[in-house]
Amino acid sequence: MTSDILIVDDTVENIRLLSKLLKDEGYQVRGAADGKTALMLCDKKPPSLILLDIMMPGMNGYDVCRHLKEQPETKDIPVIFLSALNELTDKITAFRAGGVDYISKPFEALEVLARVATHSRIVTLQRTLMEKNAQLKALAETDSLTGLFNRRYLISQVNHRPVPYSLILFDIDDFKQINDQYGHQFGDEVLICLSNVVMEQCREQDIAARWGGEEFLIYLPNTHLKQAKQIAETLRVNINQCCCNQARSISASFGIASQTQGESLELLIKMADSALYRSKLKGKNCVELA
């Protein structure tokens, strides 16, 4: 990824020299002649790295850096101070303001390139690490086939949200027969199709998880039994209309349980499972309440 560098200096000639130097090395470069303009550019599109002068009219470099470090969107942008101030106290102030490096003016081209390259590599490595961590987090929390959350994640979330809630437990009717007759690839398509229906219907506060195999569980916070039944009925109808293939229609059976007296998650799942079992006995493709 090419680094996007913002040069902030009230001397236009310095911006011109640094821009040419960095562009020749393949960097994308923008310039700002004062602190307010620099902050505006950062708000619109945060750069990968900033070369920042200190002595500027209006807002000095220290204040610009402090402002950047106070904002969540810009606090992680590395700032390299570039200044004619060479006293130790100036450098200490720069680092305390949040700078990662300090280059003295008049600057040497090779030194600027070396330090920019070093901090650009660090930025790239940090971004790669964040992406990898996000991927690992997704793998730990979601079901790889359906994209729904997994059992572990749902349990962890319910245990951290001590509010009254309802559970909808359901599974696909005759799923083994579907796999046996049409193959496991078609069975996977059914699971994905059903999961898409679930994701489209779930509210922002709900958590839907693949509980195992063809079984799914939806956590509905602050939702009473009657409202949960309405949600399940709508979901049942939408699943009936989910046409994965012209070969057959798809249906699901549902069991619902609600927390009324602080019942544990384990108990509510057992209650919902018993209700689901009754819906199977009643002919499937229906909703039963615990």
Catalytic amino acids? 214
The residue whose two tokens read 């078609």 is 186
Identify any residues that bridge with 101 across adjacent strands, giving them in sequence order: 80
| H or E stretch covering 52 | strand 49-52
Tokens of 229: 């039944």
In angstroms, the CA 242 to CA 251 distance is: 9
Q: Is the dihedral of CA 15, 18, 23, 28 positive or negative?
A: negative
Residue 113 corresponds to which amino acid? L
- The beta-strand segments (E) located in 86-197 are 101-104, 149-150, 165-172
Amino acid at 232: A
29 neighbors 5 (Cβ within 8 angstroms): yes
DSSP H or E stretch at residue 178 = helix 175-182
Query: Greatest CA span in the chain, whole angstroms?
Result: 85
Rounded Cα distance, 123 and 258, in Å: 48
